[in-house]
Amino acid sequence: MIDLKHLPNHERGEEAILFLRRHWITVLSLAFTGVALLMVPILAYILMRTLGWDLMGNPVTGAIASLLLSSYLLLVLVILMTQYTDYYLDTWIVTNHRIINIELMGLFSRTISELRLNQVQDVTSETIGILPTFLTYGNVYIQTAGTRERFNFKNVDNPEDVKRVILDLSNQEKRRSGDASLMMTPPPVA
Amino acid sequence: MEFPMIYLLIPFGVVVLATTLFVMFNFFHIAHFGLQGTKSSIVLLVYCFSFVGLLIFITQILGSLSWETNVSLDWLFFSTYLL
């Protein structure tokens, strides 16, 4: 279950309706990257054997090669961990009151932005490409009135369903608390 | 100029230290900002096991080598061993 207490401005009676991350294909591509990076020292070893370089035959070159290999493996682990942390912490939460966008930019920068559901003016879902069509993932764009930047849900699963849920929740919230998207519309230019 | 090969472990120690720091940053982020209790715990366990597992693997590789041999700077930088 999602623990919303860690979120800022947690409201009484607020419930998480959708909890979204990027599609699992992102994790799969990360796994492929990991395998490819782990293949590099194996291929290098095979190449050296083919060329007749026996690094491990000499104690000094063997030690240096082992240190380089160890450093490389540690580096690969850190890269994979950082990428996965980035995937894991980039989340979009739709509650019965608002939409929250949490983005981790590198390890030292985190952005949380939120949008009231009654400010939503337009929701667009987009699925482009062969793989996204077969695996049903894509982007969802949420537009509000005014100059505010739109919210982008990138590569989420079932973008059509997400769009429908957001529109339903937005309509409910507008009936309950008034349509803030109309109040925010800038006046027409004469 | 000659020095024992064990000195090569000093820069490697710096690499291990930097890696540990980054792993800890990742660990902290998931522990602090991860919103799904059980899932975050599993991710943290995987992080711990993979890091500790890799350290054990590296210790076994490096432990099997002899670090008492002396190596000269000339040999290290101007060796024609591979040529």
Mean pLDDT of B38-56: 94
Q: pLDDT tens across A4-24, in order?
A: 666 667 777 788 889 999 999
Question: Which pLDDT score, from 0 to 100, does residue A106 have?
Answer: 76
Distance from CA of B2 to the nearest CA of A (A): 13
Quick check: B23 pLDDT over 70?
yes
Quick check: B83 pLDDT over 60?
no
At residue A31's C-alpha, the angle toward residues A140 and B55, to 5°, is 130
Verify whether the Cβ–Cβ distance B69 to A59 is below 8 Å.
yes
Q: pLDDT tens across A143-163, in order?
A: 887 656 678 899 999 999 999
Select from B34, B43, B58 the Cβ nearest to the Cβ of A73.
B58
Quick check: B9 pLDDT over 80?
yes
Which ipTM score applies to this complex?
A: 0.87
- The reported pTM is 0.83
Q: How confident is residue A178, by pLDDT bands cut at 50, 70 and 90?
A: confident
Select from A60, A74, A89 the Cβ nearest to the Cβ of B34.
A89
Quick check: B76 pLDDT over 70?
no
Residues of B with CB under 8 A from a CB of A: 5, 8-9, 12, 15-16, 19, 22-23, 25-26, 29-30, 32-37, 43, 47, 50-51, 54, 57-58, 61-62, 65-67, 69, 71, 75-76, 81-82
Select from A66, A78, A110 the Cβ nearest to the Cβ of B65.
A66
Give a three-class secondary structure readout of A131-149: HHHHHCEEEEEEEECCCCC
Q: How confident is residue B13, by pLDDT bands cut at 50, 70 and 90?
A: very high
Quick check: A84 pLDDT over 70?
yes
* Helix H or strand E segment including A124: strand A120-126
Strand-pairing partners, residue A92, are: A20, A101
Q: Please tell me which residue, A177 or B46, carries the higher pLDDT value.
A: B46
Q: pLDDT tens across A30-60, in order?
A: 999 999 999 999 999 899 888 888 777 777 8
In chain B, what residues touch A67 (CB-CB under 8 Å)?
8-9, 12, 62
| A112 part of contact set with chain B, CB < 8 Å | no
| The amino acid at A34 | G
Strand-pairing partners, residue A123, are: A142
Question: By the 8 A CB rule, do A93 and A100 touch?
Answer: yes
